[in-house]
């Protein structure tokens, strides 16, 4: 069975300033126990030894899916966002469509599914924006984000626990609302800033980039 974590971890390049010669020893793991698990995550407790040699009692949250998200960009440079109530912080959040893809699924297929289910949109063109390690001191959660365009409507199908609101906003307005603090979902924030860089640096089709940047 193909595991998306293997591909995620295998192709990590080394930064230009790091030749690998001056790194401390890695953490060591002498064994672990499972504290809790359900269909979405597992908590593991480890007999760990730090690079300094100090012993540590380490707990890691391990999601059972890879996180996937997509910023859908329309031909006029606007983007589709979804709003929903979030339980952990008990707040309302405007976000790009995002969710989880099981490790035995192609992450891109998971992102396609989330885009259709949450936003009622499908995309003809996809470009990987980045891979990220989310809060890597306490979890091994991995995330992948895409920019998508060539959009067309499809029936939405949110999860039974979700009531989704959909908004189409100019890309420049999204950037400004990030600056005001109105948009705080880190996945959406990082993807929007990466999309801005891609548009400026010629990593997106010229007409799409021009439309995105027109009101920035």
User: Which CATH number characterizes residue 154's domain?
Assistant: 3.90.79.10
Evaluate whether residue 154 is within a structural domain.
yes
Burial category of 50 from C-beta neighbours within 10 Å (exposed 0-12, middle 13-18, buried 19 and up)? middle
Evaluate whether residue 87 is within a structural domain.
yes
Evaluate whether residue 78 is within a structural domain.
yes
Residue 199 lies in domain: 65-213
User: How do the pLDDT tens digits run along the chain, 216 residues long?
Assistant: 689 999 999 988 999 999 989 999 999 999 999 999 999 999 999 999 999 999 999 999 999 999 999 999 999 999 999 999 999 999 999 999 999 999 999 999 999 999 999 999 999 999 999 999 999 999 999 999 999 999 999 999 998 999 999 999 999 999 999 999 999 999 999 999 999 999 999 999 999 999 999 989
Count of domains in the chain?
A: 1
Evaluate whether residue 6 is within a structural domain.
no
Overall pTM surpassing 0.75 (yes/no):
yes
| pLDDT at residue 1, rounded to an integer | 67
């Amino acid at each position: 069975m193909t595991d998306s974590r293997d591909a995620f971890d295998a192709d990590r390049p080394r930064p230009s300033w790091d030749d690998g010669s001056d790194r401390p020893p890695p953490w060591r793991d002498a064994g672990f126990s499972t504290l809790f698990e359900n269909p979405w995550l597992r908590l593991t407790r480890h007999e760990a030894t730090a690079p300094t040699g100090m012993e540590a009692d380490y707990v890691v949250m391990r999601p059972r899916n890879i996180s996937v998200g997509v910023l859908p960009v329309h031909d006029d440079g606007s983007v589709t966002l979804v709003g929903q109530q979030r339980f952990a912080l008990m707040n309302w959040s405007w976000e790009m469509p995002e969710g989880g893809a099981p490790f035995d699924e192609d992450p891109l297929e998971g992102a396609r599914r989330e885009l259709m289910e949450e936003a009622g949109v499908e995309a003809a063109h996809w470009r990987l924006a980045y891979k990220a390690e989310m809060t890597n001191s306490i979890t091994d959660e991995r995330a992948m984000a895409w920019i998508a365009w060539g959009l067309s409507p499809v029936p939405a199908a949110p999860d039974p626990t979700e009531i989704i609101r959909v908004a189409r906003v100019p890309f420049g307005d999204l950037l400004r609302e990030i600056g005001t603090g109105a948009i705080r979902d880190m996945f959406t924030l990082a993807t929007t800033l990466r999309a801005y860089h891609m548009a400026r640096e010629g990593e997106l089709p010229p007409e799409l980039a021009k439309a995105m940047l027109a009101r920035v």
